Amino acid sequence: MSWTDALENVFQRYAGAGGGTGAAPADVHQDYQEVARSAPPDAVADGLAQSFRSDQTAPFPQMVGQLFSNSNPEQKAGLLNRLLAAAGPGVVGALSGLGRSVTPAQAATVSPQQVEQAAEHAERDNPSVVDQVGHFYSQHPDVVKALGGLALAVALQHIARRR
Express each pLDDT in 4-26 by its tens digit. Answer: 888 888 888 886 544 434 455 66
The boundaries of the domain holding residue 45 are 3-162
Helix (H, G, I), strand (E, B) or coil at 80: helix
Task: Report the percentage of the chain scoring pLDDT > 70.
Answer: 90
Alpha carbons within 13 A on the beta-carbon side of 1: 8
CB atoms within 10 A of CB 37: 11
The number of helix segments (H) and strand segments (E) in the chain equals: 12, 0
145 phi and psi, to 5 degrees?
-55, -25
Burial class (CB in 10 A: 0-12, 13-18, 19+), 146: middle
For residue 33, the model assigns a pLDDT of 93
The total of structural domains in the chain comes to 1
The structure's pTM equals: 0.88
Give tens-digit pLDDT for 90-125. 677 778 777 778 999 999 999 999 999 999 999 999
